[in-house]
Amino acid sequence: MSSGPDKENDMNTHADRPMTPEEEIAALRANPQPTLRAVSPGMEAHLYTPKKVLDHGFVRVVDYMGDDAAIVQAARVSYGAGTKKARDDSGLIRYLMRHWHSTPFEMCEIKLHVKLPVFVARQWIRHRTANVNEYSARYSILDREFYIPEPDALAAQSTVNNQGRGAVLDGAEAARVLEMLKADAGRAYDHYQEMLSQDGQQGLARELARMNLPANIYTQWYWKTDLHNLFHFLRLRADAHAQYEIRVYAEAIAEMVKDWVPAAYGAFEDYRMGGVQLSAKGVEVLKRRLAGEVVTQENSGMSKGEWREFEEVFG
List the catalytic residues.
237
Q: Which of 238, 261, 250, 259 is nearest to 112 (CA)?
A: 250
- Report the alpha-carbon distance of residue 190 to residue 145 in Å, rounded: 12
Element of type H or E holding 166? strand 165-168
Q: Where are the alpha helices (DSSP H) in the chain?
A: 5-12, 21-30, 41-44, 68-76, 89-98, 118-124, 171-195, 206-209, 227-237, 244-260, 262-268, 280-290, 297-300, 304-314
- Report the alpha-carbon distance of residue 94 to residue 90 in Å, rounded: 6
Q: Please give the full DSSP string across 39-69, using - where no structure is assigned.
A: --HHHHTTBT--EEETTTEEEEEEEEE--HH
Measuring CA to CA, how many Å separate 108 from each of 72, 183, 228, 229?
11, 44, 8, 10
* Sheet hosting strand 57-65, strand order edge to edge: 51-53, 57-65, 109-117, 218-226, 131-134
